[in-house]
Protein backbone atom coordinates (compact mmCIF):
# COMPACT_ATOMS: atom_id res chain seq x y z
CA UNK A 1 0.00 0.00 0.00
CA UNK A 2 1.43 3.39 -0.99
CA UNK A 3 2.00 5.75 1.92
CA UNK A 4 1.04 8.61 -0.39
CA UNK A 5 -2.25 7.08 -1.52
CA UNK A 6 -5.44 8.89 -0.63
CA UNK A 7 -7.60 6.15 -2.19
CA UNK A 8 -6.42 2.56 -1.91
CA UNK A 9 -8.38 -0.28 -3.51
CA UNK A 10 -7.04 -3.82 -3.20
CA UNK A 11 -8.47 -7.07 -4.57
CA UNK A 12 -11.91 -5.58 -5.26
CA UNK A 13 -14.57 -7.99 -6.53
CA UNK A 14 -17.96 -6.42 -7.23
CA UNK A 15 -21.13 -7.08 -9.14
CA UNK A 16 -24.84 -7.73 -8.82
CA UNK A 17 -26.90 -10.85 -8.06
CA UNK A 18 -25.97 -13.44 -10.64
CA UNK A 19 -23.54 -11.16 -12.47
CA UNK A 20 -19.90 -10.43 -11.67
CA UNK A 21 -18.73 -7.06 -12.98
CA UNK A 22 -15.09 -6.96 -11.88
CA UNK A 23 -12.57 -9.13 -10.10
CA UNK A 24 -9.28 -8.39 -8.37
CA UNK A 25 -9.16 -4.65 -9.04
CA UNK A 26 -6.20 -2.83 -7.47
CA UNK A 27 -6.13 0.95 -7.67
CA UNK A 28 -4.12 3.60 -5.83
CA UNK A 29 -4.83 7.32 -6.21
CA UNK A 30 -2.74 10.07 -4.68
CA UNK A 31 -3.88 13.36 -3.22
CA UNK A 32 -4.50 16.07 -5.79
CA UNK A 33 -4.72 13.80 -8.84
CA UNK A 34 -7.29 14.37 -11.59
CA UNK A 35 -8.10 10.88 -12.81
CA UNK A 36 -10.20 10.02 -15.85
CA UNK A 37 -11.89 6.62 -15.63
CA UNK A 38 -12.77 5.74 -19.20
CA UNK A 39 -14.25 2.73 -20.94
CA UNK A 40 -17.29 1.64 -22.98
CA UNK A 41 -20.86 1.33 -21.74
CA UNK A 42 -21.23 -1.64 -19.42
CA UNK A 43 -17.53 -1.68 -18.54
CA UNK A 44 -18.24 -1.29 -14.82
CA UNK A 45 -17.12 2.30 -14.28
CA UNK A 46 -20.19 3.25 -12.24
CA UNK A 47 -19.94 0.01 -10.29
CA UNK A 48 -16.33 0.80 -9.38
CA UNK A 49 -17.24 4.28 -8.12
CA UNK A 50 -20.14 2.90 -6.10
CA UNK A 51 -18.00 0.08 -4.72
CA UNK A 52 -15.45 2.62 -3.46
CA UNK A 53 -18.33 4.21 -1.54
CA UNK A 54 -19.47 0.86 -0.18
CA UNK A 55 -22.76 0.98 -2.09
CA UNK A 56 -22.47 -2.43 -3.78
CA UNK A 57 -23.79 -5.20 -1.49
CA UNK A 58 -21.53 -8.23 -1.36
CA UNK A 59 -18.45 -6.47 -2.77
CA UNK A 60 -15.24 -8.03 -1.50
CA UNK A 61 -11.77 -6.60 -1.12
CA UNK A 62 -10.32 -3.63 0.74
CA UNK A 63 -11.15 0.03 0.12
CA UNK A 64 -9.75 2.89 2.18
CA UNK A 65 -10.00 6.65 1.68
CA UNK A 66 -7.73 8.85 3.78
CA UNK A 67 -7.36 5.92 6.16
CA UNK A 68 -11.11 5.42 6.58
CA UNK A 69 -12.87 2.17 5.73
CA UNK A 70 -16.45 0.92 5.61
CA UNK A 71 -19.20 3.49 6.05
CA UNK A 72 -16.67 6.07 7.27
CA UNK A 73 -15.39 6.33 3.69
CA UNK A 74 -18.50 8.35 2.83
CA UNK A 75 -17.47 11.15 5.21
CA UNK A 76 -14.32 11.66 3.12
CA UNK A 77 -15.93 11.53 -0.33
CA UNK A 78 -18.23 13.78 -2.33
CA UNK A 79 -20.21 11.85 -4.96
CA UNK A 80 -22.15 13.08 -7.97
CA UNK A 81 -23.94 10.13 -9.64
CA UNK A 82 -24.90 10.15 -13.30
CA UNK A 83 -28.54 9.58 -12.41
CA UNK A 84 -29.56 11.78 -9.53
CA UNK A 85 -32.76 11.94 -7.54
CA UNK A 86 -33.24 15.71 -7.44
CA UNK A 87 -36.78 16.93 -8.01
CA UNK A 88 -35.95 20.08 -9.92
CA UNK A 89 -39.50 21.43 -9.54
CA UNK A 90 -39.23 21.30 -5.76
CA UNK A 91 -39.51 24.86 -4.30
CA UNK A 92 -36.00 25.18 -2.90
CA UNK A 93 -33.25 27.70 -3.55
CA UNK A 94 -29.76 26.93 -4.83
CA UNK A 95 -28.36 27.85 -1.42
CA UNK A 96 -30.59 25.37 0.42
CA UNK A 97 -29.99 22.66 -2.18
CA UNK A 98 -26.25 22.98 -1.66
CA UNK A 99 -26.68 23.07 2.12
CA UNK A 100 -28.48 19.72 1.90
CA UNK A 101 -25.10 18.23 1.05
CA UNK A 102 -24.24 18.58 4.76
CA UNK A 103 -27.05 16.23 5.83
CA UNK A 104 -24.76 13.23 6.11
CA UNK A 105 -22.57 15.14 8.58
CA UNK A 106 -25.28 17.05 10.45
CA UNK A 107 -27.86 14.26 10.67
CA UNK A 108 -31.50 14.23 9.59
CA UNK A 109 -32.93 15.70 12.79
CA UNK A 110 -30.52 18.55 13.49
CA UNK A 111 -30.57 22.02 12.06
CA UNK A 112 -27.47 23.12 10.13
CA UNK A 113 -25.17 25.30 12.20
CA UNK A 114 -22.90 28.19 11.32
CA UNK A 115 -20.06 25.91 10.16
CA UNK A 116 -22.46 24.05 7.84
CA UNK A 117 -23.69 27.27 6.27
CA UNK A 118 -20.14 28.51 5.80
CA UNK A 119 -19.15 25.25 4.09
CA UNK A 120 -22.15 25.53 1.75
CA UNK A 121 -21.27 29.15 0.99
CA UNK A 122 -17.69 28.16 0.10
CA UNK A 123 -19.00 25.43 -2.20
CA UNK A 124 -21.26 27.95 -3.94
CA UNK A 125 -18.31 30.30 -4.43
CA UNK A 126 -16.11 27.50 -5.78
CA UNK A 127 -18.70 26.61 -8.40
CA UNK A 128 -19.42 30.25 -9.36
CA UNK A 129 -23.04 30.08 -8.28
CA UNK A 130 -23.14 33.20 -6.09
CA UNK A 131 -25.48 35.09 -8.40
CA UNK A 132 -27.92 32.16 -8.37
CA UNK A 133 -27.82 31.43 -4.63
CA UNK A 134 -31.36 32.69 -3.99
CA UNK A 135 -32.80 31.44 -7.26
CA UNK A 136 -35.19 28.44 -7.23
CA UNK A 137 -33.50 25.40 -8.70
CA UNK A 138 -36.41 24.99 -11.13
CA UNK A 139 -35.20 28.10 -12.98
CA UNK A 140 -31.68 26.82 -13.66
CA UNK A 141 -30.19 25.70 -16.95
CA UNK A 142 -28.69 22.24 -17.40
CA UNK A 143 -25.15 23.49 -16.82
CA UNK A 144 -26.18 25.41 -13.72
CA UNK A 145 -27.94 22.34 -12.34
CA UNK A 146 -24.82 20.27 -12.79
CA UNK A 147 -22.82 22.87 -10.86
CA UNK A 148 -25.42 22.72 -8.06
CA UNK A 149 -24.94 18.96 -7.81
CA UNK A 150 -21.17 19.38 -7.64
CA UNK A 151 -21.50 22.18 -5.09
CA UNK A 152 -23.74 19.96 -2.97
CA UNK A 153 -21.04 17.27 -3.03
CA UNK A 154 -18.37 19.84 -2.15
CA UNK A 155 -20.39 21.16 0.78
CA UNK A 156 -19.28 18.19 2.87
CA UNK A 157 -15.67 19.36 2.31
CA UNK A 158 -14.51 16.04 0.87
CA UNK A 159 -10.95 14.93 0.28
CA UNK A 160 -12.11 13.03 -2.80
CA UNK A 161 -14.70 13.97 -5.42
CA UNK A 162 -16.19 11.08 -7.43
CA UNK A 163 -18.05 12.11 -10.58
CA UNK A 164 -20.04 9.81 -12.83
CA UNK A 165 -20.31 11.27 -16.36
CA UNK A 166 -20.24 14.94 -15.27
CA UNK A 167 -20.31 16.31 -18.84
CA UNK A 168 -23.46 14.52 -20.01
CA UNK A 169 -25.76 17.00 -21.77
CA UNK A 170 -23.42 19.97 -21.28
CA UNK A 171 -22.29 22.38 -23.99
CA UNK A 172 -18.67 23.44 -24.51
CA UNK A 173 -18.68 26.53 -22.23
CA UNK A 174 -20.16 24.59 -19.29
CA UNK A 175 -17.75 21.71 -19.86
CA UNK A 176 -14.84 24.15 -19.86
CA UNK A 177 -16.06 25.78 -16.66
CA UNK A 178 -16.23 22.42 -14.90
CA UNK A 179 -12.74 21.49 -16.08
CA UNK A 180 -11.38 24.74 -14.67
CA UNK A 181 -13.09 23.94 -11.37
CA UNK A 182 -11.57 20.44 -11.28
CA UNK A 183 -8.12 21.91 -11.95
CA UNK A 184 -8.57 24.29 -9.02
CA UNK A 185 -9.75 21.53 -6.70
CA UNK A 186 -6.82 19.27 -7.52
CA UNK A 187 -4.37 22.16 -7.15
CA UNK A 188 -5.76 22.62 -3.63
CA UNK A 189 -5.21 18.93 -2.84
CA UNK A 190 -8.60 17.37 -3.55
CA UNK A 191 -8.48 14.19 -5.64
CA UNK A 192 -10.99 14.15 -8.50
CA UNK A 193 -11.99 10.86 -10.13
CA UNK A 194 -14.48 11.02 -12.99
CA UNK A 195 -15.92 8.45 -15.30
CA UNK A 196 -16.60 9.94 -18.69
CA UNK A 197 -17.45 9.17 -22.31
CA UNK A 198 -15.84 12.46 -23.32
CA UNK A 199 -12.52 10.94 -24.36
CA UNK A 200 -11.12 14.17 -25.78
CA UNK A 201 -11.62 16.16 -22.61
CA UNK A 202 -10.29 13.33 -20.44
CA UNK A 203 -7.23 12.72 -22.63
CA UNK A 204 -6.28 16.38 -22.70
CA UNK A 205 -7.30 17.49 -19.20
CA UNK A 206 -6.73 14.64 -16.75
CA UNK A 207 -3.34 14.14 -15.15
CA UNK A 208 -3.92 10.39 -15.29
CA UNK A 209 -6.14 7.98 -17.19
CA UNK A 210 -7.44 4.58 -16.13
CA UNK A 211 -8.67 2.51 -19.09
CA UNK A 212 -11.30 0.23 -17.64
CA UNK A 213 -13.35 -2.67 -18.96
CA UNK A 214 -14.41 -5.03 -16.13
CA UNK A 215 -10.96 -4.42 -14.77
CA UNK A 216 -8.03 -2.07 -15.32
CA UNK A 217 -6.59 -2.45 -18.84
CA UNK A 218 -4.04 0.36 -18.54
CA UNK A 219 -3.22 3.11 -16.07
CA UNK A 220 -0.90 6.08 -16.42
CA UNK A 221 -0.35 9.65 -17.68
CA UNK A 222 -2.49 10.50 -20.69
CA UNK A 223 0.52 11.34 -22.87
CA UNK A 224 2.14 7.97 -22.18
CA UNK A 225 -1.07 6.03 -22.87
CA UNK A 226 -1.54 7.79 -26.21
CA UNK A 227 1.80 6.37 -27.43
CA UNK A 228 0.27 3.00 -28.28
CA UNK A 229 -3.13 1.91 -29.53
CA UNK A 230 -3.20 -1.60 -28.07
CA UNK A 231 -4.65 -0.83 -24.60
CA UNK A 232 -7.28 1.42 -26.20
CA UNK A 233 -8.19 -1.32 -28.66
CA UNK A 234 -8.45 -3.80 -25.80
CA UNK A 235 -10.63 -1.41 -23.79
CA UNK A 236 -13.05 -0.31 -26.50
CA UNK A 237 -12.89 -3.24 -28.89
CA UNK A 238 -11.87 -1.08 -31.86
CA UNK A 239 -9.03 -1.31 -34.37
CA UNK A 240 -5.79 0.64 -33.97
CA UNK A 241 -6.82 2.81 -36.94
CA UNK A 242 -10.23 3.70 -35.48
CA UNK A 243 -11.27 7.37 -35.84
CA UNK A 244 -12.19 7.20 -32.13
CA UNK A 245 -8.50 6.84 -31.30
CA UNK A 246 -7.04 9.15 -33.96
CA UNK A 247 -9.33 11.95 -32.72
CA UNK A 248 -7.56 11.97 -29.36
CA UNK A 249 -4.07 11.54 -30.76
CA UNK A 250 -3.47 7.85 -30.05
CA UNK A 251 -0.62 6.52 -32.16
CA UNK A 252 -1.74 3.85 -34.64
The string of pLDDT tens digits covering residues 128-157 is 999 999 999 999 998 899 999 999 999 999
CA 150 – CA 132 distance, rounded (Å):
14
CA 151 – CA 10 distance, rounded (Å):
30
CA 28 – CA 238 distance, rounded (Å):
28
Distances (CA, A) of 134 to 22, 57, 91, 118, 122: 44, 39, 11, 15, 15
Q: Where are the beta strands (DSSP E) in 17-103?
A: 19-30, 34-38, 60-65, 77-80
- Provide the pLDDT confidence category of residue 1 given band limits of 50, 70 and 90: very low
In three-state secondary structure terms, 136 is strand
- What are the tens digits of pLDDT across the range 205-226? 999 999 999 999 999 998 999 9
- Provide the pLDDT confidence category of residue 74 given band limits of 50, 70 and 90: confident
Q: Is the pLDDT of residue 58 over 80?
A: yes
Amino acid sequence: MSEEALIQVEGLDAGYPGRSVMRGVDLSIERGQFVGLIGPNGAGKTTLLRAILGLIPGARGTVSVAGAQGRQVRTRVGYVPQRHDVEWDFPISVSNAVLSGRTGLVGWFRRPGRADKQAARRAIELTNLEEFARRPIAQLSGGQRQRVLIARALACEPEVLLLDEPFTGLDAPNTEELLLLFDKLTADGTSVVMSTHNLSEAAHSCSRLVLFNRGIIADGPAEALRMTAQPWSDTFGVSASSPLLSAIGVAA
